[in-house]
Amino acid sequence: MQKRMLGTNGLEVSALGLGCMGLSYGYGPAQERQKAISMIRQAFDKGVTFFDTAEAYGQGTNEELVGEALAPIREQVVIATKFGFKDGDSSAGFDSRPERIRAVADAALKRLRTNRIDLFYQHRTDPGVPIEDVAGTVKELIRAGKVQHFGMSEAGAQSIRRAHAVQPVTAIQSEYSMWWRGPEAEILPLCAELGIGFVPFSPLGRGFLTGKIDEQTPFSKDDFRNQLPRFAADNRKANQALVASITALAAAKHATAAQIALSWLLAQRPWIVPIPGTTRIERLQENVGAAAIELSAADLRQIDDVFARIPVQGDRYPAHLAANVGK
């Protein structure tokens, strides 16, 4: 797989990464541990060198999984993890106090079985802690050799600028896909201006852009999508027209809808690195195949025309979660 540079600070990763959250958190029951470890290692075998986790994904359990899976190949991969929630619980509120950041870093190093965190994101901006204090603390961790690069997730433009002035930000991670293009307004231009890489999470629209989900698809009770307006049954039904159009384009290119969705992201900027997640080997193989697909200018215009003609139905977050992003 081809490599890409995230930002201008020398962080090189595979063009597609692997979002590891769903292996143990967020989308129903956790995967059996050895199967999850096998999935991560097979991703590496297929060329993936960039792996994403967080303290908040099962309060450290996902980090432990990623650490065990990557220990034999640690020097050949890049590991990203995150801090920013009280006790590592995303439902408990924010906590980016300097002492908490340092404690999370030390705990993550142990769980990940490593001597450094390659990319350390603030998971969400904390209104109770000046972003300069956050960036300054990460700067100290970088000087100590515990962290290599600083990142921010779902941050707003002003916060990014202020943080970057203290400690250069290597990557911004935010939701971005064909059906959520919010970062195009401010964040992507800012990344281009400051030399920051961009890492889209949920690049397949939390699975919807694969074409495998419709209004009848059941979700387990602990599946995060149950909370999202866009995944209400009526909205899933309404949004099928979008997926049908993308599937038709995919068929013409002998690809799948998921591959078109990922290749569309790769075509947006050379410093964008999507991190699709999956629990199935066949989906991993499918996603990796997207890196070899090239969309023409005409293809990209066709996709833009589809989404201009058929607006996406449903908000991406309920109000209480939407309030936590873009700050």
Q: Phi/psi at 85 (nearest 5 deg)?
A: -115, 150
pLDDT at 320: 83
pLDDT of 183 reads: 97
Q: What local confidence, expressed as pLDDT, does residue 222 receive?
A: 84
Contact 139, 166 (CB under 8 A): yes
Going from N- to C-terminal start, the domains of the chain cover 3-322
Q: How far apart are CA 76 and CA 39, in angstroms?
A: 17
CATH 3.20.20.100 fits 3-322, yes or no: yes
Helix extents (H) in the chain: 33-45, 61-70, 98-111, 131-143, 157-166, 187-194, 233-238, 240-252, 257-268, 281-289, 297-309, 319-322
Question: Contact at 8 Å (CB) between 265 and 292?
Answer: no
DSSP 215-262: TT----TTBGGGG-GGGSHHHHHHTHHHHHHHHHHHHHTT--HHHHHH
Distance CA 162, CA 91 (A): 26
| Active site (catalytic) residues | 57
pLDDT per 10-residue tile (average), the chain, 327 residues: 95 98 89 96 98 96 98 98 95 96 98 98 97 98 98 97 98 96 97 98 94 91 90 93 93 95 97 96 96 94 92 89 81
Of 59, 68, 61, which Cα lies nearest the Cα of 34? Answer: 68
